Structure 1
Amino acid sequence: MGMISAVRTIVFYFLLAVTTLLWLPPSLLIGPFLPYRWRYRMIAVAWSRVALWLARWILGIRYRVRGLENIPAQPCVILAKHQSAWETFYLSSYFQPLSQVLKRELLNIPVFGWALRMIKPIAINREQPKQALRQVAQEGAARLAKGNWLLIFPEGTRVPPGRIGKFSRGGASLAAHAGLPVLPVAHNAGQFWPKLDWRKASGTVDVVIGPPMTAEGTDSASIAELNQRAFLWVAQAQHEIGSLSDENWQALREQYGI
């Protein structure tokens, strides 16, 4: 990435910061008095769409989506590949309302964290994983019961293009016990919004939404099977869009006998 990418990235972050400063006061003043769904649109959808618009016209990052017909009518658990911040903007703007599992420290950011609290994320303490799993199970079930989509990045952290991390079973377990499917999502956003470089590259993000998948039961074997099925679907989709290396995909095929 060269000087042009650096300049575009600086302009993007400057405009996003200005937009955020303009967006926060009305969100904090008006948001608490709005019904939850309207509040979500005002705080999460509006800001995310501005970020996507700026990414398109300043950074040159466009996107195309396949599999929209797979999205079920009833909200469920989204198991998405995690490579960057871009997919958070996209998924938060498209699935409404959406609750996301995120690290608790984000809620402590002055002003921004206050707005974030109003859209009901599930804020966990990553230093206490067992407690975090219980919290996700309890609060996630409550969000789903109220008609929220639930976004989980089962890898737990951003994994650069070319590789895929192991999926935790928390999302599959939650969906199974709620009697709802998981919706797998693959993409290659990290190719243009890299984890290890602050500069962004222009290009088109491919987003692929898979078929909803359900567990055969709520026992551990059924949950593990669902989680593996979702993992392998995402892995194959990542390989097809060029975001999982041939070597890593072949190793997975040998490991799982596919």
Structure 2
Amino acid sequence: MSDLTILATSGGYAPGHRTRIALGPIVRHATELAGVAGTPRVCHVGTAGGDQSWFHAELDEAARVAGVRMSHLSLFSMPNVDDVEAFLREHDVVWVGGGSVVNLLAVWRAHGLPEILHAVGESGVVLAGISAGSLCWHVGGPTDSFGPELRPVTDGLAFVPYGNGVHYDAEPGRRPLLQRLVAEGTLPTSYATDDGVGLVYRGGHLVEAVTEVRGAGAWEVRREVDADGSSRAVEGRIEPRELSGAR
């Protein structure tokens, strides 16, 4: 298993004081995982949201307040840089935004991003993100990318060999669908996050859960087969470490 550091989250943003959004403690933690000395350099990848310029501007303002150097890799309607890999290697963290994970995976594959991101991660850049930016690093998980009714995506990048559930406490249909997918073997053992929680992986192994929201949790969902051959999902809570500045 490659030596990647991944922070897969259902958090990272908070209401701003003078801006609409602020960068939360989870984003700061991603820069700490990268061992940043000085001003952190974070590249936001907004493919899942369609590379919306208005949201880029809001993130730039949030980053200014947080003391973070923020830049953006856009793929619509063409890549905004000549050499995507060289550009990403200039950063400490690649932060992938939310939206449609299905569209993200399709566009990334068309542009060769999976191989580039893996190489960039192996060079020491932390790979991180929220929602679709969490699911993408895993084998798959429940998504609303296909429509209002949640459905499984099972062709994630699999940089970590697990399924993933995001917004586990916020959207009622996600928990039972993840449990069913694990019970029937569609997904392997999976890790899920309540809003505000992140999963830290190193070398393909979960090493810690962290939270910027007090009381929120992370969850392991694994498959067990009973003596009669029937299978079921067993869920266990993983108590996350509370980050400085948690609300």
Give the structure-2-normalised TM-score. 0.36
State which structure, 1 or 2, has the greater radius of gyration over its C-alpha atoms: 1
Larger strand proportion of the pair: 2
Greater length-normalized contact order (CA 8 Å, ≥ 6 residues apart): 1
More helix by share: 1
When normalised by structure 1's length, the TM-score is 0.34
